[in-house]
A = this chain, B = another copy of it.
Amino acid sequence: MPHAIFWNLQTNSIPRVVIIGGGFAGMNAAKLLGGLPVQVTLVDRRNFHLFQPLLYQVASGGLSPGDIAAPLRDILSRFPNVRTLMAEVTGFDPANGRILLHDQSDLLYDTLILAAGAENFYFGNPQWQQFAPGLKTIEDATEIRSRILSAFEKAELETDPEVRRSWLRFVVVGAGPTGVELAGAIGEIARDTLRHDFRAIRPAEAQILLLEGAKHTLPQFKEDLSDKAERALIKLGVRVRTGVMVTTIDAAGVSLITDAGSAERIEARTVIWAAGVRASGLGKKLADAVGAETDRGGRIKVSGDLSIPGHPEIFVLGDLAWFEKDGAALPGLCPVAMQQGWYAARVIKLRLQGKAVPPFHYVNKGIMATIGRASAVADLGFIRFGGVFAWLAWLFIHLMYLVGFRSRFVVAIQWGFQYLTFNRGARLITGKDEPS
């Protein structure tokens, strides 16, 4: 087996930290480790950090992939002790402090940080994926964008009124923040963006259905905000159906069963999955290798310092970590991942100095979801509010956390144009050469 990779800093006396995953947790850990007396290797399958909270804006044609993704190398280039490798992790060898890569090479670590995030999960129905893409990657987003825009194109070409209606019916499964954001964006595309663009169809006649298994839209939020969000969605032409379970998804639509037990069929050519994610498969691989406990979602149970019990040298962060607080696991949110990334870097620093480490404490800054133009809901703990102020707060926070000054500036301009003109700048159907 060829050994690791040449690196000009390679000496055996400097502790080696390997970080798997360049998301909010891994990237922030790497940034804080930059400048410390450690050798850091960040491994990611992709060459960029993705600002996932704005991924739905790529899926709805408002932003380009390049606006919300920044090359990891670029972000980390100013730290000479941090290197980035685009590679796929294929296995763990904790006994030898080693991870295995796709090209049969390996990497040695003194400290390992696993922060590989989550992936779409179809509750045991992987065959639904082809009919109802989820929204986790840039490719997911451009695929969903193509499907939404193509549906209007197909409707314009279609002469059978029944089929045409099914092209103009959009189903979003799952009314968490992503589902609400997507459904709201499709509503705006149909009512505003495409208003004057077609001759045979009226895009505003599109039906947008948002399906949710729980009793309320945005089940993570308090009921008053759920109600506010639901009213805002209705204004955008989105019909919200709570208390329904999807039983089948196929090329022609969705079958569901209501709380009352009645079955229904919805003919819709465009279905988007926003109902569930689970921990990356690397979680299970690592848990098996070290004998760690995982929950139903595949998350690894971590101690108070975010390391695996019995393995203080292995941290698990972000969507992959099962960290209990007040009897419940912390949710898979950006602020959680960011704070955990910072914390893990701090633990490594304090350990180098031989100092004691206080346990991880999550500072809950609140949760927000945007619904559409000048409409959002926010629960900051001490205050709950909706409407235009929540939306402005959402805009501000997301711009501030966007990586890189250029991205921030370009996104602000795109949003400004979008607000003023109702137009969306990146309405491209890409990925295939044929319209058929």
Residues of A bordering B, CB below 8 Å:
2, 5-9, 45-48, 63-67, 69, 71, 73-74, 77-78, 83-88, 102-103, 105, 137-139, 142, 149-150, 153, 156-157, 159, 194, 196-200, 406-407, 409-410, 413-414, 417, 421, 423, 425-431, 433-436
Contacts and interface: CB of A to CB of B under 8 A. Distances in A.
Contact of A428 (B48, B196, B199, B410): B48
A435 B64 contact: no
Given A6-B159, A157-B5, A102 B423 contact: no
B200 A430 contact: no
B77 A430 contact: no
Interface of A is mostly: loop
A435 B46 CA distance: 7
B9 A199 contact: yes
Contacts of A407: 425
Contact of A85 (B48, B102, B157, B421): B157
B73 A433 contact: no
Contacts of A159: 2, 5-6, 105
Given A5-B156, A86-B429, A413 B409 contact: yes
Give the interface centre of A66, A71, A77 by most chain B CB atoms within 10 Å: A66
Contact of A433 (B139, B150, B429, B431): B139
Given A46-B429, A86-B153, 4 more contacts: A64-B67, A137-B433, A142-B430, A406-B425
B429 A6 contact: no
A157 B47 CA distance: 13
Contacts of A196: 77-78
Contacts of A429: 46-48, 86
A436 B74 contact: no
Nearest to A87: B435
A105 B426 CA distance: 29
Contacts of A88: 434-436
Nearest to A63: B66
A414 B159 CA distance: 43
A83 B199 contact: yes
Nearest to A197: B73
A82 to B, nearest CB: 9
16 contacts: A7-B200, A9-B199, A63-B66, A69-B428, A73-B194, A77-B196, A78-B196, A86-B150, A86-B429, A87-B157, A87-B435, A102-B434, A137-B433, A139-B430, A410-B413, A410-B425
A8 B8 CA distance: 69
Contacts of A421: 406
Contacts of A137: 433
A428 B65 contact: yes
Contacts of A65: 64, 426, 428, 430
A163 B263 CA distance: 60
A-B pairs with lowest CB-CB distance, top 4: A66-B426, A64-B64, A73-B197, A64-B66
Contacts of A427: 47-48, 71, 74
Given A65-B428, A409-B413, A7 B434 contact: no
Contacts of A423: 74, 406
